[in-house]
C-alpha cells in the first residue's frame, strides 16, 4: 500500500471513529432521570481537556520552533505548561464558584460594568482568532503535503472541513470524541518520537533520549557523543550559535517571555470552559490533575523531538560527510515538501548539491517560487534566489553558504519521513495532526461564537435579542471566524507559535490582572480594573506595533525585552495602575464585596436568619 | 375491508347530519399504486384525501427526480389520516404527496370541502387553526364529555335529601319552626294516602298574599301534583324533568315508597359540594380518628374526579389542596403547640408542585429553628409518617420523609445540604435538589422555610455553571420523534414521562429557580416566567398545552388499563399510540415537537451543546 493510500485510510478511520462516537453518545438515552457525574470519569475528562489544550501549535509547530531557536524555545514549553497549572489551581476553581462560563462574563459581573466586559470580550476574541489561525495553518500544512496540493489550497480544504466538523456537525465538545482525539494524537506524537530516538541513539524513551549518546551506526563522526553535544558541534560548524546556548545571553528576556505566556495562557477561554463541564467540583479538580499528566506526556517529548529531529535533518541533507547531497539523490520527502512550498533549494554555488548552513539563500527570509517552473533536475525555481558571491557568508565559521529553506512548521510532520520510518507511522502522524487541529479549532470556534453572540450582542449591544437570533449570531460568528482564520492561515504574519505568543502577551497585559484581582481583592473596583486593563493593553500594543511593524530595531528594545516578552511589563503596569486608581476611587458596592468574600469563604443561611 | 367512511372521527363528527349527507353523497374513492404522485406540487389538488389504506409521503417539490435516500420527507400519512385540505383551500399544493405503498383513499372534492368549511365555522376552524386553536377545540370537546360522565350518575347515589314529613293537621307556624330546625326549605305533608309538598315560598304566599292565619293546616296549602323520579333514574333525567316543569324539586320514589327529595341546587353543585364538604370536615376534625375518616373519604373523591374525567389541572389542584389540608391537620394534632412556631413541615417533589393525580408517596421534610431542643422529635415524627401511611399515603421508597432523620434538619443543616447538593449536581444529589426546589411549606412556621428558600435563591443567583449542570438532566432522554418528525412508536408504547413530562417539568424548574419564581406548580411557573419575559410567550403557552395533554393522555390510558387488565406501576407512564384517536395522535406529535423546541431553547440558554 502506498503512503498516500495509508494516510487516507488512517485519517478516514480516525474521522469515522470521532463521528461514530458522537452519534453513539447522542443517540444513547439514559435510564435514570438524574445521572451521576454525567457518566464521564475524571480521567476521561482529563484526556478531553488535554485534547482541547494541545492544538496544532503544540503538535505541529512547537517542536519545530524549539528545533530552530534552540534553548530559548523551552520558554514556550514552560510558559504553556505553567500557564495551565496557574489556570487549574489559581483561577478555574474560583471562576467556577463565581458561576461564570467565560472570562468576559466574570469581568463584566465582578466589575459591574459593561465597559469592562467589552474590553475582555475583545481580548478573548483576539486571542481565539490568532489561535484558530494557527490551527488553520497547521491543517493546511497537513493537507498540502498529503493531498499533494499547495499550502494555500490545503488551508482552503482545511477551512471547509473544520466548518463542517465544528459548525454543521454539531460535534463540539463531546467528551468521548475528544478522548478519542487525544488517544490518536498522543499515539501519533510519541510513536515516531520513539522510533526517531531509537534510530539516532539506540535509546527507546524520547523523554530521556537527550542525555543518551549518538549511535555510531547513525553517524560515525558523531557516534559516542551525547546528543546535545553532538548537535552543538554540528550546528556551530555550519555557522549557527550552539543549540544549548542560543538566546541565553538574555535570561531576563526569557524569564519575562515565560511569564507573559503563562499569564496569557491562564485566560484561554476554551480550556477554562472544560473545568466547568464536570458536575462535581471534586471531579473537576481531579480531572485537572489528569489533564496535566496527559499534557506532560506530549510536552516532555518535545525537546528530544526538536533536538534529534534537527540532528537528523542536518545529517540527511548534508550527508554523513557533511559536504552536501546531490539533488537527484535527495529522498522523496524533500521533493514532496518542495511541492507544498515549505522547502526550497537554491543552488547558490552551482555544484548541484544540496547544502544546509546558516544564512538565507534568498533576498529576504522566504523563497518566492517562480510559478511552477522547474529546473532540469526537477527542483522548483525561485525568483528571489541568490547565486555565487551574492550570498555572503563567513567562510571562517561555515564551510559553504546555505542553500536550503525549511519551514519550521513542518518539523514534526517531516521527521518520520526524514528518518525513513515505516509508512504507517507517517500516516499516523497525519491523522494525529488533524486530530490536534480539529479538537482545538472546534472548541475555539464554539468559544468565539458564543463570546460574540452571548457576551457581546446579548449582554452588551442588543439585550433583547431572542434566543433564536442568538443562535443565528453564533453560527454567523463561527463562519466569520473560520474565514478570518483562513485568511491568516493563507497569509501568516509569522510562525504559528510566535503569532500566538504575541496574542498571549496582550492577554497577559490586559485581563489576567483583572481576573486575579477580581478574585483575590475585595477592594478592587471597576475604575481600577478598567484603567489597569487599558494601560496594560495600550502600552503593550504600542511596543509590539513599533517593533514589529514600524521598523524598530532590536538595539532599541526596552531593557533588551523582545515584543513577545513585553506583555509581562504591561501586566506589571496594569497591576500598579489598578491599585493606585482603585485606592483613589470609591470601593465597589457592598454586595460585590460579599460575593468576592463568599467565593473563598462560603456562608450559610443560618447566619442570615439568626433573628 | 370496509370502504365505509368513518364519520365519527374528528373533524367529521363536527358536521351536522345534513352536512354529513352532503359529504357522503360527494365522496369519491381512488386507488393509487406505489410511487404514484397523488398531488403534485404547484397544481390544484382534487380535494381533501382521507386515507383508507396504504401510506403516503409528503415530500419536497424536487424530490421526485431524486433517488429515494436523498429525498426529504416531511411526514407520512397512514390509515384514517387526511391530507390536502390546506392545499385545497389555498388552491395550489406546495409539496408533492406520493403513495409509498398501494393506497386507497376517499376524496372529498375541493368545491364540497369549501362549502362545508363555509357552512360550518367550527369545521372550518379545524383546518385553519394552529396547534393552540385545535387544542382549544379538543378541550371544549372534553368539557361536554365531563358533563356526560357527570350525568351518568344516578339519583339514588348522589345528592338526594331525606324529606321532612308531617301529618295532616300541623299548623303553618309549627311547620315553619320544624323547617327552620331541620334547615330545609321544603316539607311533605301526608293527607290520606297522598303526599303534598309545601315550600317556604308557599307559606309566605299563603300568609302575606292570601291573608291566611298562621294556624292554618299546612295540608291545605300543599301542592299534590308532585313530579316524581325513580330511585335509579339518571340524574340527567331528573334535571330535564325539573327544567321542563320549571320546578326546583322532585320527589324520589322506589316502588311507590317515598325515598327523598332531590333539589335543583343540589344537582348543580354536585361536584363542588362533594369536595367542599370534605374540606370542612378536615378543618373540623378534632382527633386523629376523625381525620382518618375524612382522609379515607378522599380516596373516593380522587376516584370520583378521575372517573368523571374532570379537567386534569383542576383535579390536581383540588387533590393537592385536600392532601395538604390533611397533612397540616395531622401535623398540628401531633406536634405540641409550643413546638409548632419553631418547626416547619414542607412537602416536596410532585406534591410540592401540586401535580399529583392519585395519592402519591410521602415526600416531606421538617425544618427546625437552629438549636431547638425537642426530645420527642423522633417519636412524634415517626408517628406522623406511620399515620399518613395508614391514611393511604404510601411511604417514600427513597426515604424522603420526616420519619427519616436525614430529612429533619435545622435551618443551618438544611442550607448546608442545599449547598452541598448544588456543588455536586449529579446523580442522587441532583435528585434531592430537584425535589427540594419544588418544596413549599404546609404547616408550622413558614418563615423558616422562606428564609432557607430565599437564601438558596441568593446563593445560586446568576451561577451559570450550576444552572447549566442542573438543566442538563432535562436533556437526558431523547424526544420520541422520528427523523421525519413523526412519533417514534414502540410496541409497548412510549414513555411519556421521559419523552415529554420530565423535560418540561425539569426545564421549567431550572428557569424558575434561576429567576426566583416562588410558585412551585409547573403551570403557574410558566405563567410567571412568561410575565417576567424569561420565556417567549408562544413557547410558554405551547408548553402549558403540551404538558396538560401529556398528563391527560397518561391518565386516560392508566384508567383504561386499570379497568381492563389491572396494570402494574411499571408501565404507568406508557402511552400506547395505537389506542389514541387521530386527533389525539396529531396533538401528541405536535406537543412532542414543542418539547423538542423547548429542549433547544434550554440547550441554547444553558450552553448544553454536546
Q: Indicate the pLDDT class of residue B594, thresholds 50, 70 and 90.
A: very high
- Our CA-based measurement puts residue B404 at a distance from the nearest CA of chain A, in whole angstroms, of 22
- Our CA-based measurement puts residue B41 at a distance from the nearest CA of chain A, in whole angstroms, of 29
Q: Indicate the pLDDT class of residue B307, thresholds 50, 70 and 90.
A: low
- Torsion angle (degrees, nearest 10) of CA A92, A97, A101, A105: -110
Does residue B561 register a pLDDT over 70?
Answer: yes
Residue of B nearest to A465 (CA): B536
The angle, 0 to 180 degrees and rounded to 10, between the axes of the packed helices A423-450 and A42-53 is: 90
Does residue A58 register a pLDDT over 60?
Answer: yes
Comparing A497-501, A532-536, A596-600, B315-319, the range with the smallest average pLDDT is A497-501
Alpha-carbon gap, residue B584 to B141, rounded angstroms: 12
Interface contact flag, B465 A101, Cβ < 8 Å = yes
Q: Which three cell numbers stand for residue A579?
A: 491599585
Residue with cell 381525620: B291
Interface contact flag, B428 A34, Cβ < 8 Å = yes
Q: How high is the mean pLDDT of chain A? A: 81
Q: Indicate the pLDDT class of residue B184, thresholds 50, 70 and 90.
A: confident
With beta carbons under 8 A apart, name residues in chain B contacting A606.
370, 410-412, 415
Task: Return the CATH number of B165-270, one of 3.30.1330.10, 3.40.50.80, 3.10.580.10, 3.20.20.140.
Answer: 3.10.580.10
Ranges of H-type helices in A461-495: 467-490
If you average pLDDT over each of A203-212, B307-316, B431-440, which comes out highest?
A: B431-440
CB A290 within 8 A of CB A186: no
Per-residue pLDDT tens digits for A192-248 = 999 888 888 888 888 888 888 888 877 777 777 888 888 888 888 887 888 777 766
Per-residue pLDDT tens digits for B63-90 = 555 555 555 666 677 777 778 776 777 6
Say how many residues make up chain B. 610
Higher pLDDT, A496 or A561: A561
Is B452 near chain A, with CB under 8 Å?
A: yes
Q: Dihedral sign, CA of B562, B564, B568, B573? A: negative
Question: Which whole number is the average pLDDT over B315-336?
Answer: 84
Q: Indicate the pLDDT class of residue B150, thresholds 50, 70 and 90.
A: very low
Q: What percent of chain B has pLDDT over 90?
A: 12
Residue of A nearest to B474 (CA): A33
Q: Which three cell numbers stand for residue B325?
A: 389540608
pLDDT of residue A570: 93
- Our CA-based measurement puts residue A605 at a distance from the nearest CA of chain B, in whole angstroms, of 5
Interface contact flag, B610 A174, Cβ < 8 Å = yes
Residues linked to residue B365 through DSSP beta bridges, in sequence order: B346
Q: Which three cell numbers stand for residue B146?
A: 365531563
Question: Which whole number is the average pLDDT over B211-217?
Answer: 85
Cβ under 8 Å to A: B residues 517-546: 536
Interface contact flag, A30 B428, Cβ < 8 Å = no
- Our CA-based measurement puts residue B483 at a distance from the nearest CA of chain A, in whole angstroms, of 12
With beta carbons under 8 A apart, name residues in chain B contacting A276.
465, 468
- Torsion angle (degrees, nearest 10) of CA A67, A73, A76, A78: 110
- Our CA-based measurement puts residue B372 at a distance from the nearest CA of chain A, in whole angstroms, of 13
Chain A residues whose C-beta is within 8 A of a chain B C-beta are 27, 29-30, 32-38, 96, 98-101, 105, 109, 170-175, 276, 279-282, 446, 450, 466-467, 470-471, 602, 604-606, 608-610
Comparing A130-144, A268-282, A468-482, B440-454, the range with the smallest average pLDDT is A268-282
Residue of B nearest to A282 (CA): B424
Interface contact flag, B476 A109, Cβ < 8 Å = no
Is the backbone of residue B200 left (phi > 0), alpha (psi -120 to 50) or beta? Answer: alpha
Per-residue pLDDT tens digits for A544-559 = 888 877 777 777 888 8
Higher pLDDT, B298 or B348: B348
Q: What is the distance of C-alpha A72 from the center of its chain? A: 16
CB B408 within 8 A of CB B331: no
Residue with cell 483575590: A520
CB A530 within 8 A of CB A221: no
Q: Indicate the pLDDT class of residue B136, thresholds 50, 70 and 90.
A: very low
Q: Which of B416, B427, B455 comes nearest A35 by C-beta?
A: B427
Q: What is the 3-state secondary structure (H, E, C) of B247-286?
A: CCEEEEEECCEEEEEEEHHHHHCHHHHHHHHHHHHHHHCC
Question: Which whole number is the average pLDDT over B397-410?
Answer: 88
Interface contact flag, B610 A175, Cβ < 8 Å = yes
pLDDT of residue B236: 61
Scored b (16 or more CB within 10 A) or e, A386-406 reads: beeeebebeeeebebbbbbbb
Interface contact flag, B412 A602, Cβ < 8 Å = no
When computed from its CA atoms, the radius of gyration of chain B, rounded to whole angstroms, is 31
Q: Indicate the pLDDT class of residue A610, thresholds 50, 70 and 90.
A: very low
pLDDT of residue B595: 93
- Our CA-based measurement puts residue A576 at a distance from the nearest CA of chain B, in whole angstroms, of 31
Interface contact flag, A280 B610, Cβ < 8 Å = no
Interface contact flag, A604 B472, Cβ < 8 Å = no
Alpha-carbon gap, residue A244 to B90, rounded angstroms: 81
Q: Indicate the pLDDT class of residue A611, thresholds 50, 70 and 90.
A: very low
Interface contact flag, B428 A36, Cβ < 8 Å = yes
Question: Which whole number is the average pLDDT over A59-85?
Answer: 85
Instruction: Count Cα atoms within 13 angstroms, Cβ side, for B516.
Output: 13
Q: Which of B416, B452, B607 comes nearest A101 by C-beta?
A: B607
Residue B136's Cβ-count burial label (10 Å; 0-12, 13-18, 19+) is middle
With beta carbons under 8 A apart, name residues in chain B contacting A36.
426-428
pLDDT of residue B365: 92
Is B462 near chain A, with CB under 8 Å?
A: yes
Whether omega for the bond prior to residue B11 falls within 30 degrees of 0, making it cis, is yes
Question: Which whole number is the average pLDDT over A1-26?
Answer: 80
Question: Which whole number is the average pLDDT over A47-55?
Answer: 83
Classify domain A3-24+43-308+424-517 at the CATH topology level: Hydantoin permease (1.10.4160)
CATH superfamily to which B12-128 belongs = Jelly Rolls (2.60.120.10)
Per-residue pLDDT tens digits for B360-402 = 678 899 999 988 888 888 999 999 999 988 888 888 888 888 8
Q: Which of A32, A105, A172 comes nearest B609 by C-beta?
A: A172
With beta carbons under 8 A apart, name residues in chain A contacting B428.
34, 36
DSSP A213: B
Measure the CA angle with vertex A262, ends A260 and A266; round to 5°: 115
Interface contact flag, A280 B466, Cβ < 8 Å = no
Q: Which three cell numbers stand for residue A416?
A: 518520520
DSSP A457: I
Interface contact flag, B463 A99, Cβ < 8 Å = yes
Q: Indicate the pLDDT class of residue B279, thresholds 50, 70 and 90.
A: low
What does the domain layout of chain A look like in residue ranges?
Answer: 3-24+43-308+424-517, 318-410
Q: Which three cell numbers stand for residue B291?
A: 381525620
With beta carbons under 8 A apart, name residues in chain A contacting B455.
604-605, 608-609
Higher pLDDT, A554 or A296: A296
ipTM over 0.85: no
Question: Which whole number is the average pLDDT over B269-279?
Answer: 54
Task: Return the CATH number of B271-460, one of 3.40.50.720, 3.30.1600.10, 3.30.460.10, 3.30.420.40.
Answer: 3.30.460.10
Say how many residues make up chain A. 611
Per-residue pLDDT tens digits for B519-558 = 899 999 999 999 998 888 899 999 999 998 898 888 778 7
pLDDT of residue B346: 93
Does residue A260 register a pLDDT over 80?
Answer: yes
Per-residue pLDDT tens digits for A106-129 = 888 888 888 888 888 877 777 777
Nearest to B459 by CA among A609, A267, A277: A609
Q: How high is the mean pLDDT of chain B? A: 79
Size of interface A-B (CB pairs under 8 A): 112
Amino acid at each position: 500500500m502506498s503512503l498516500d493510500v495509508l494516510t487516507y485510510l488512517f485519517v478516514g478511520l480516525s474521522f469515522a471513529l470521532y463521528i461514530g462516537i458522537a452519534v453513539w453518545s447522542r443517540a444513547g438515552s439514559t435510564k435514570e432521570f438524574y445521572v451521576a457525574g454525567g457518566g464521564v470519569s475524571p480521567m476521561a475528562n482529563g484526556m478531553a481537556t488535554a485534547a482541547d489544550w494541545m492544538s496544532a501549535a503544540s503538535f505541529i509547530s512547537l517542536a519545530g520552533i524549539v528545533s530552530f531557536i534552540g534553548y530559548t524555545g523551552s520558554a514556550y514549553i514552560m510558559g504553556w505548561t505553567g500557564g495551565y497549572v496557574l489556570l487549574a489551581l489559581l483561577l478555574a476553581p474560583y471562576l467556577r464558584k463565581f458561576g461564570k462560563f467565560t472570562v468576559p462574563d466574570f469581568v463584566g459581573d465582578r466589575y459591574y460594568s459593561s465597559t469592562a466586559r467589552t474590553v475582555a470580550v475583545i481580548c478573548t476574541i483576539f486571542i481565539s482568532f490568532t489561535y484558530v489561525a494557527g490551527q488553520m495553518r497547521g491543517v493546511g500544512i497537513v493537507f498540502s503535503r498529503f493531498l499533494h496540493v499547495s499550502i494555500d489550497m490545503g488551508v482552503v480544504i482545511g477551512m471547509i472541513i473544520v466548518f463542517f466538523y465544528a459548525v454543521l456537525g454539531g460535534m463540539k465538545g463531546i467528551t468521548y470524541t475528544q478522548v478519542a482525539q487525544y488517544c490518536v494524537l498522543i499515539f501519533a506524537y510519541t510513536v515516531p518520537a520513539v522510533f526517531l530516538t531509537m534510530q539516532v541513539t539506540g535509546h527507546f524513551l524520547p523523554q530521556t533520549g537527550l542525555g543518551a549518546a549518538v549511535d555510531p551506526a547513525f553517524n560515525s563522526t558523531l557516534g559516542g557523543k551525547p546528543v546535545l553535544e553532538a548537535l552543538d558541534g554540528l550546528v556551530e560548524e555550519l555557522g549557527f550559535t550552539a543549540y544549548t546556548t542560543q538566546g541565553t545571553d538574555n535570561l531576563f528576556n526569557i524569564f519575562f517571555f515565560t511569564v507573559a505566556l503563562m499569564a496569557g495562557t491562564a485566560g484561554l477561554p476554551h480550556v477554562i470552559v472544560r473545568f466547568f463541564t464536570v458536575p462535581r467540583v471534586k471531579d473537576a479538580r481531579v480531572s485537572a490533575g489528569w489533564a496535566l499528566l496527559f499534557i506532560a506526556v506530549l510536552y516532555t517529548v518535545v525537546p528530544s523531538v526538536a533536538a534529534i529531529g534537527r540532528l537528523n535533518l542536518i545529517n540527511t541533507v548534508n550527508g554523513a560527510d557533511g559536504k552536501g547531497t546531490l539533488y537527484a539523490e535527495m529522498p522523496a520527502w524533500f521533493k514532496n515538501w518542495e511541492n507544498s512550498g515549505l522547502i526550497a533549494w537554491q543552488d547558490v554555488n552551482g555544484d548541484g548539491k544540496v547544502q544546509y548552513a546558516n544564512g538565507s539563500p534568498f533576498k529576504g527570509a522566504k523563497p518566492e517560487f517562480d510559478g511552477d517552473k522547474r529546473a532540469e533536475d526537477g527542483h522548483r525555481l525561485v525568483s528571489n534566489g541568490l547565486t555565487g558571491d551574492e550570498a555572503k557568508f563567513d567562510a571562517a565559521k561555515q564551510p559553504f553558504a546555505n542553500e536550503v529553506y525549511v519551514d519550521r512548521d513542518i518539523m514534526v510532520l517531516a521527521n518520520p519521513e526524514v528518518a525513513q520510518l515505516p509508512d504507517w507511522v507517517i500516516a499516523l502522524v497525519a491523522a494525529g495532526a488533524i486530530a490536534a487541529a480539529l479538537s482545538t479549532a472546534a472548541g475555539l470556534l464554539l468559544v468565539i461564537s458564543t463570546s460574540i453572540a452571548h457576551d457581546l450582542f446579548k449582554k452588551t449591544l442588543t439585550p433583547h435579542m431572542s434566543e433564536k437570533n442568538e443562535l443565528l449570531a453564533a453560527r454567523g460568528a463561527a463562519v466569520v471566524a473560520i474565514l478570518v482564520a483562513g485568511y491568516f492561515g493563507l497569509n501568516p504574519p509569522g510562525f504559528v507559535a510566535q503569532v500566538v505568543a504575541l496574542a498571549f502577551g496582550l492577554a497577559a497585559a490586559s485581563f489576567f490582572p483583572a481576573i486575579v484581582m477580581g478574585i483575590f481583592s475585595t477592594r478592587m473596583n471597576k475604575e481600577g480594573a478598567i484603567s489597569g486593563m487599558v494601560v496594560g493593553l495600550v502600552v503593550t500594543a504600542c511596543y509590539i506595533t513599533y517593533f514589529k511593524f514600524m521598523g524598530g530595531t532590536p538595539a532599541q528594545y526596552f531593557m533588551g525585552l523582545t515584543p513577545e516578552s513585553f506583555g509581562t511589563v504591561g501586566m506589571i503596569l496594569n497591576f500598579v495602575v489598578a491599585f493606585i486608581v482603585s485606592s483613589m476611587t470609591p470601593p465597589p458596592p457592598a454586595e460585590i464585596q460579599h460575593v468576592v468574600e463568599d467565593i473563598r469563604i462560603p456562608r450559610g443561611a443560618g447566619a442570615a436568619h439568626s433573628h | 375491508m370496509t370502504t365505509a367512511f368513518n364519520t365519527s372521527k374528528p373533524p367529521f363528527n363536527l358536521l351536522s347530519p345534513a352536512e354529513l349527507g352532503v359529504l357522503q353523497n360527494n365522496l369519491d374513492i381512488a386507488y393509487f399504486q406505489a410511487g404514484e404522485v397523488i398531488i403534485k406540487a404547484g397544481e390544484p389538488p382534487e380535494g381533501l384525501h382521507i386515507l383508507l389504506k396504504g401510506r403516503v409521503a409528503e415530500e419536497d417539490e424536487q424530490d421526485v427526480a431524486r433517488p429515494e435516500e436523498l429525498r426529504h420527507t416531511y411526514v407520512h400519512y397512514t390509515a384514517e389520516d387526511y391530507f390536502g385540505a390546506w392545499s385545497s383551500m389555498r388552491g395550489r399544493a406546495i409539496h408533492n404527496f406520493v403513495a409509498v405503498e398501494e393506497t386507497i383513499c376517499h376524496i372529498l372534492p375541493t368545491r364540497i370541502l369549501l362549502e362545508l368549511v363555509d357552512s360550518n365555522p367550527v369545521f372550518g376552524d379545524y383546518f385553519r387553526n394552529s396547534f393552540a386553536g385545535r387544542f382549544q377545540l379538543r378541550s371544549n370537546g372534553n368539557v361536554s364529555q365531563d358533563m356526560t360522565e357527570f350525568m351518568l350518575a344516578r339519583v339514588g347515589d348522589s345528592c338526594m335529601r331525606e324529606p321532612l314529613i308531617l301529618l295532616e293537621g300541623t299548623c303553618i307556624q309549627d311547620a315553619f319552626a320544624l323547617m327552620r330546625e331541620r334547615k330545609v326549605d321544603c316539607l311533605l305533608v301526608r293527607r290520606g294516602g297522598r303526599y303534598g309538598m309545601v315550600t317556604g315560598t308557599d307559606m309566605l304566599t299563603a300568609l302575606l298574599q292570601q291573608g291566611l292565619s298562621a294556624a292554618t293546616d299546612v295540608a291545605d296549602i300543599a301542592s299534590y301534583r308532585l313530579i316524581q323520579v325513580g330511585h335509579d333514574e339518571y340524574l340527567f333525567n331528573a334535571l330535564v324533568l325539573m327544567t321542563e316543569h320549571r320546578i326546583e324539586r322532585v320527589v324520589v320514589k322506589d316502588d311507590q315508597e317515598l325515598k327523598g327529595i332531590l333539589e335543583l341546587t343540589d344537582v348543580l353543585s354536585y361536584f363542588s359540594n362533594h369536595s367542599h364538604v370534605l374540606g370542612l370536615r378536615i378543618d373540623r376534625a378534632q382527633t386523629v380518628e376523625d381525620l382518618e375518616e375524612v382522609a379515607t373519604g378522599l380516596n373516593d373523591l380522587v376516584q370520583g374526579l378521575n372517573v368523571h374525567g374532570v379537567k386534569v389541572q383542576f383535579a390536581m389542584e383540588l387533590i393537592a389542596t385536600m392532601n395538604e389540608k390533611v397533612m397540616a391537620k395531622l401535623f398540628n394534632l401531633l406536634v405540641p403547640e409550643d413546638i409548632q412556631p419553631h418547626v416547619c413541615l414542607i412537602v416536596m417533589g410532585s406534591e410540592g408542585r401540586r401535580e399529583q393525580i392519585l395519592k402519591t408517596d410521602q415526600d416531606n421534610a421538617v425544618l427546625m429553628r437552629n438549636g431547638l431542643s425537642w426530645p420527642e422529635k423522633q417519636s412524634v415524627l415517626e408517628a406522623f409518617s406511620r399515620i399518613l401511611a395508614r391514611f393511604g399515603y404510601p411511604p417514600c421508597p427513597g426515604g424522603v420523609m420526616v420519619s427519616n432523620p436525614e430529612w429533619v434538619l435545622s435551618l443551618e443543616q438544611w442550607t448546608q445540604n442545599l449547598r452541598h447538593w448544588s456543588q455536586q449536581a449529579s446523580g442522587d444529589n441532583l435528585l434531592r435538589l430537584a425535589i427540594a426546589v419544588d418544596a413549599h411549606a404546609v404547616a408550622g412556621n413558614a418563615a423558616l422555610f422562606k428564609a432557607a428558600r430565599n437564601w438558596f435563591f441568593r446563593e445560586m443567583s446568576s451561577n451559570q455553571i450550576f444552572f447549566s449542570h442542573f438543566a442538563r438532566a432535562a436533556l437526558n432522554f431523547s424526544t420520541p420523534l422520528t427523523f421525519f418528525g413523526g412519533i417514534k412508536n414502540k410496541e409497548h408504547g412510549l414513555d411519556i414521562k421521559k419523552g415529554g413530562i420530565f423535560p418540561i417539568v425539569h426545564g421549567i424548574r431550572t428557569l424558575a429557580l434561576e429567576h426566583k419564581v416562588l410558585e412551585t406548580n409547573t403551570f403557574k411557573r410558566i405563567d410567571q416566567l412568561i410575565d417576567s419575559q424569561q420565556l417567549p410567550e408562544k413557547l410558554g403557552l405551547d408548553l402549558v398545552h403540551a404538558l396538560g395533554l401529556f398528563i391527560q393522555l397518561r391518565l386516560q390510558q392508566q384508567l383504561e388499563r386499570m379497568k381492563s387488565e389491572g396494570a402494574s406501576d411499571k408501565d404507568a407512564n406508557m402511552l400506547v399510540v395505537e389506542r389514541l384517536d387521530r386527533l389525539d395522535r396529531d396533538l401528541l406529535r405536535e406537543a412532542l415537537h414543542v418539547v423538542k423546541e423547548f429542549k433547544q431553547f434550554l440547550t441554547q440558554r444553558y450552553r448544553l451543546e454536546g
